[in-house]
Homo-oligomer: A and B are copies of this chain.
Amino acid sequence: MSAEAEPGTRTDDDGVAVPEEVLRARAYLMRLAEPPAPRLAHLVALLGPVEAAERIRGGADLGRHVGAEVNARRDVDRVDADLDGVRALGGRLVVPEDADWPVAAMAGFDHPGLDASTDWVTPLGLWVRGPGSLATVGDAGHRSVAVVGSRAATGYGRWVAREWSASLADEGLTVVSGAAFGIDGAAHRGALAVDGRTVAVLACGVERAYPAAHARLLETIAAQGLVVSEYPVGAVPARHRFLVRNRLIAALASGTLVVEAGARSGATRTASAALELGRPVMAVPGPVTSALSVGSHHLARQPGVTLVGSVDDVLADVGPVRDSDTSPVRPSGPLDGLSTPAVRVHGALRGFATATVIALARESGVDPSTVPAALDELAAAGLVILDGERGWCRSG
């Protein structure tokens, strides 16, 4: 589904129309109840979105449970405003009837089923900005990793989030996070730095820059990746929405990576959600003297959580997948046949007269432990030489 679709009847990639009445019904229902709304989800599963919306609008007696979720906003009809609002941003409403619905990612929600007593219900729809494919996020061919952690992350934590996200994105994985300060922002930036896939899941409308200092980051993600929310345009962030949003981050990811987390934090909530969804949870270690690694180490002792000491560990736990789309045919050149890290290290050398392994790792986003092998490969191809004590440089 491209962002240039005409307003009105939506058409998915296969040319199958999503009926406008379905889209409008779901837009109405999404504004009606604060997510997650398990009883409403139950009703929609039972009647379908169009009939459910009609009955609620018509004032039908829906019983005490559904009533409690929808009565307060039953008469609020902002369907046109909400749909026009997202389309004005070049965005769209993606619904379960849409070919772009992330079926694989949402599969976890089927596990506890639409039990009225649980919050683990599939969203009624997702407001989306950006050119990326939502359907493929976290599916078998496009594994995704939620990279989450503290807003007050240390330099170490931000470094790991950025560098590992770059490496993971470079391996074809999608980096999912929440666009917050600290780990979230570093994760998105790492993925963007290698032109990788990244998805920001918000606790407010997709038009909103929250935090404000991340306005440019969010615009970049909306231009290159995906910005996703359960909340319509205009919705403001609120404490409970962050908690609800965290379950969606976990759902959109094949596995959740906690980089730095205090003893109690949103990141550990996301990790709990991932575990409930049956997805792998991975914890990045740090110095035992760092308060921000306490949560990660605590988490790593829980059943079902693995410790990951390298990008390779993450790939082993989530499953490495190379997205074939990211390997376009190129004209032949001196870099043909080289590994991706070697190509990136070679590119990074452009900025230096001579450079150390550490500097090259930082510049290229290649894991420092991988840089020496990449340099060996480039040296064997005659593309770099070791300039005495001063470091590596391009040969000619």
Contact = CB atoms under 8 A, between A and B. Distances in A.
Interface of A: 156, 159-160, 284-289, 293-294, 296-298, 300-301, 306-310, 313, 368
B294 A309 contact: yes
Contacts of A286: 285-288
B288 A309 contact: yes
Nearest first, the 6 closest Cβ-Cβ pairs linking A and B are A297-B309, A285-B285, A300-B307, A288-B309, A307-B307, A301-B307
A114 B134 CA distance: 61
B285 A310 contact: no
Contacts of A297: 285, 307-310, 313
A310 B284 contact: no
Given A285-B288, A286-B287, 5 more contacts: A288-B310, A296-B309, A297-B309, A297-B310, A300-B300
Contacts of A306: 301
Contacts of A285: 285-288, 293, 297, 300, 307
Nearest to A316: B301
Nearest to A361: B289
Nearest to A285: B285
9 contacts: A159-B289, A160-B288, A285-B287, A285-B293, A288-B310, A293-B309, A300-B307, A301-B308, A301-B313
A389 to B, nearest CB: 21
A141 B286 CA distance: 33
Q: By CB atoms of chain B within 10 A, which of A159, A160, A288, A296 has the most?
A: A288
Contacts of A156: 287, 289
A298 B312 CA distance: 11
Q: By CB atoms of chain B within 10 A, which of A293, A300, A307 has the most?
A: A307
Contact of A298 (B160, B289, B296, B309): B309
A143 to B, nearest CB: 19
A51 B300 CA distance: 54
Nearest to A368: B289
Contacts of A368: 289
Nearest to A156: B287
Given A301-B313, A307-B297, A287 B287 contact: yes
